[in-house]
Structure formats: C-alpha cells, structure tokens
C-alpha cells in the first residue's frame, strides 16, 4: 500500500497542530518531568518519593472523570473549541505548581484540577480530527500526530532539569507552562480544524462512515477486552517512566548519567510512533500491537539485574520508549476501526479511563515498592508480566467490522 500523498497535502496542518497540542499537553509533560522534580520537592518539603508519585493517581482521578467528558463535548461541540480551550487552562494550572507551599493536600488538589481542565489536551480530542482527515494513511497520520509525546517528553525532561539547576524548581514549572501557551495555542488557532469546520479548507468530503454509539460499544465484548488490555499495558509503561532516573540510580549510575540515558526515551517514542503507525496501516493492528508491546518485557527483566551496564540500560529504555510510542496511536486506531467515528470521542474517552487507571497507579506502585524494599525490581517484574498479558489480550479482538456493518449499526440508533 503506497502513501496517499493527497491526504497529507491537505491534512498536514492538522497533524502539525495535533502533534504540538498533544506534545505540550497533559499526556507527556507532567509524567515525563515528574521524576526530575522529586529531588527538589523532597529536599524543600521533606516529602517521600511515594508521597510525590501518588500525585499521578490524583491526576488519574481527574482524567478518569474529565477524559470521557472531553470526548463527549468534542463529539457534540467540535474538537477545536474543546482542545484549544483546554490548552490554555492546562498551561495555567501547570504554572500553579510554582505556588506550592508544602501542603500535600494543595499539591494533590492541583493535580486533580490540572487533569480536569487539561483533559482536552489528551489525544482524545486531537486524534478525532486526524481520523477524519485521513483514511488510507490513518495509522501513519496518527503516529505523526502523536510524535509530540516523544519529542516534548524528552525535551521537557532536559528543559526542566536545566531550569531547576539554574533557577530552581518553581521557575521550572513556569517554564514548562509556557510550552502549551506559547507553542500549541497559537499554532492550534491557525491550523487546527476538523473536517466539519467551516474554515477547514481542503477538507475531504465526509463519507457516511457510520459507527456504533457509546451504548452499543459498551454492550460488546471488544470494549471490555480493549479496556482490560490497556490497564496492565499502561501500568507497565507508566510505572517506570517517571521513576527512570531513580531506577537507573539504583543500578550504579550517577544523576547526570541517569538523566542522559533516560532522555533516550524520546527518540524511542518517536521511532515507535512512526514505525507502529506505518505497520498498522498495512497489517492487522492487534497483531502488530502484540509484537511491539510484548518486547519491553525483556527490558523489565534486564533492569532487575544488580548493576546494569550502560548498554543494557540504554537498550531497556529504548524498548520501553518504543512501547510508549505505539500505545496511544494503536488505541486511537483500534477505536476508529472497530467502532467508526460516530461516537469516537466518547468511546476513546472511556477507553482512556482504563488507560489512566494503569498509568496513574503505576508510578505510585513503583515508588511505594522502592520505599518498602529499597529496590524497583518487584515493580519491574509486575511490569513485564503486564506487557505480555495486555498485549496477548488484544489478539482476541478479531477482524475489523466492515463499513457496511458500521453503517447498519448507525442506522439502528436513528
């Protein structure tokens, strides 16, 4: 299957705006940078690693509620309004961490608020527009749009680490908040339009693709298979990422070396996005997902060894990053192919809730295991099992529904 250049000729602006919106949004920035704030926050306020990492669970609570709501609002009022409003609100709430005064309650409350107001920056909204602009190259377009998580995830980690060293952690939070406000928001205002928007010049003619309603989706087995699969997968990916510097530190590496190796996560995510997107356009996506999401179990096993060599550590980070690079676009692709676009935002929002359960619980669980045992090895073993189990579940999804069956399902609800 060759690349349909006409799709990219017309839709590249949407892909670019989506990449910047996702990359500077709620999905990568707090998760990828939390690890570099652990030391300064612990030193200033006396908080334990597990107390700081539990903040991810509070963010999960906000995302669990706000994610499906953002999807429903995008289906009803359009993704442009929801996404761009959320970009501005996310930036403001992220800057709010600079005002932390040592109260864990206020710290956790800001995580919940940030998740609730920033849920529209999640892939739930941006990928709806990308799915509508692309068909033949949908997987590749989604992969490119989701490149932002890798690009900004790696850069934000180094950027935050630099700001902390030069100006302190409070200025670092303000500096991070400027990313969505000064990059994603202006580009989104110029370029981000769905195919149904009046100003979407060159938008493809909307086909009667049809699709399932949220109620129809929930009534089928695939919805629960997908949800159950992404809980352990997101746990296995989300647990190590914000703890990477600490994990590598327990394996005999100094802080600077650990940060440098952890920064390889970004390029690995980028590679996963592009290759994964290209593959799912050409092969059965659940089979591709099984291969790419089961491989990082090897990384988890390697990191349980005593002192890990620089080569083994880098290889492990790359494998985990590769998995982080395919999870979101495979989820978006599977939702669009199995359920159509009728209630895409609502269904993807619900699916993101399952994903957020694992992603939010993982960092806290890894941090708690470290506090109790002085090692991350048990958490890494759990992560390896999660990768294999979740990836294997996706193999039970079966063939994609035909366009006719999606239109028939749509007609049943009218």
**Fold held by 5-412:** Growth Hormone; Chain: A; (1.20.1250)
- Statement: residue 75 has pLDDT above 80: yes
Long-range contacts of 277-284 (CB under 8 A, 24+ apart): 277/139, 277/140, 277/141, 277/142, 277/143, 277/144, 277/329, 277/333, 278/139, 278/140, 278/143, 279/139, 280/139, 280/329, 280/330, 280/333, 281/1, 281/136, 281/137, 281/138, 281/139, 281/140, 282/1
Q: Give, in order, the Cα–Cα distances in Å from 396 to each of 4, 338, 392.
A: 30, 13, 8
Cα-based angle 90, 91, 92 (whole degrees, multiple of 5): 90
pLDDT in tens, 280-289: 999 999 999 9
Angle at 326 between CA 325 and CA 332, to 5 degrees: 120
Residue 374 has pLDDT above 90, yes or no: no
Q: What is residue 1's predicted lDDT score, i.e. its pLDDT?
A: 43
Phi-psi region of 257 (alpha: psi -120 to 50; beta: other; left: phi over 0): alpha
Write down the pLDDT at residue 49. Answer: 82
Q: Which band of pLDDT confidence, cut at 50, 70 and 90, is reported for residue 3?
A: low
pLDDT (0 to 100) of residue 164: 94
Q: Which residue has the higher pLDDT, 124 or 242?
A: 124
Share of the chain above pLDDT 70, in %: 95
Q: What is the pLDDT of residues 104-122, one digit of tens each?
A: 999 999 999 999 999 999 9
How high is the mean pLDDT of the chain?
Answer: 88
């Amino acid at each position: 299957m060759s690349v349909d250049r006409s799709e990219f000729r017309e839709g590249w602006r949407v892909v670019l705006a989506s990449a910047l919106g996702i990359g500077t949004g709620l999905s990568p920035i707090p998760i990828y940078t939390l690890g570099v704030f652990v030391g300064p926050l612990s030193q200033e306020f006396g908080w334990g690693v597990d107390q700081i990492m539990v903040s991810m669970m509070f963010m999960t609570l906000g995302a669990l509620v706000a994610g499906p709501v953002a999807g429903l609002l995008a289906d009803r009022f359009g993704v442009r309004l929801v996404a761009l409003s959320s970009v501005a609100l996310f930036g403001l709430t992220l800057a709010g961490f600079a005002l932390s005064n040592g109260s864990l309650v206020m710290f956790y409350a800001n995580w919940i608020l940030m998740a609730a107001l920033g849920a529209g920056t999640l892939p739930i909204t941006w990928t709806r527009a990308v799915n509508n602009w692309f068909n033949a190259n949908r997987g590749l377009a989604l992969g490119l749009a989701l490149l932002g998580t890798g690009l900004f995830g790696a850069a934000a980690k180094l950027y935050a680490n630099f700001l902390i060293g030069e100006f302190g952690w409070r200025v670092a939070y303000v500096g991070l908040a400027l990313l969505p406000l000064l990059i994603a928001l202006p580009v989104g205002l110029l370029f981000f339009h769905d195919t149904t928007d009046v100003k979407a010049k060159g938008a493809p003619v909307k086909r009667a693709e049809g699709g399932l309603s949220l109620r129809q989706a929930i009534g089928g087995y695939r919805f629960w298979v997908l949800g159950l699969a992404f809980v352990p997968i997101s746990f296995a990916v989300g647990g190590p990422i914000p703890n990477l510097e600490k994990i590598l530190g327990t394996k005999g590496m100094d802080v600077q070396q650990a940060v440098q190796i952890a920064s390889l996560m970004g390029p690995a995510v980028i590679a996963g996005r592009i290759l994964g997107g290209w593959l799912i356009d050409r092969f059965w996506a659940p089979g591709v997902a099984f291969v790419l999401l089961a491989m990082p179990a090897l990384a988890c096993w390697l990191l349980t060894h005593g002192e890990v060599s620089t080569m083994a550590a880098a290889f492990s980070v790359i494998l985990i990053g590769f998995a982080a690079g395919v999870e979101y676009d495979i989820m978006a692709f599977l939702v669009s192919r199995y359920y159509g676009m009728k209630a895409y935002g609502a269904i993807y929002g619900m699916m993101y809730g399952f994903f957020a359960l694992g992603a939010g619980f993982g960092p806290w669980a890894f941090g708690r295991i470290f506090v109790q045992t002085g090692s991350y090895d048990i958490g890494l073993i759990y992560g390896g099992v999660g990768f294999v189990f979740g990836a294997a579940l996706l193999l039970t999804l079966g063939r994609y529904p035909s366009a006719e069956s999606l239109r028939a399902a749509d007609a049943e609800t009218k």
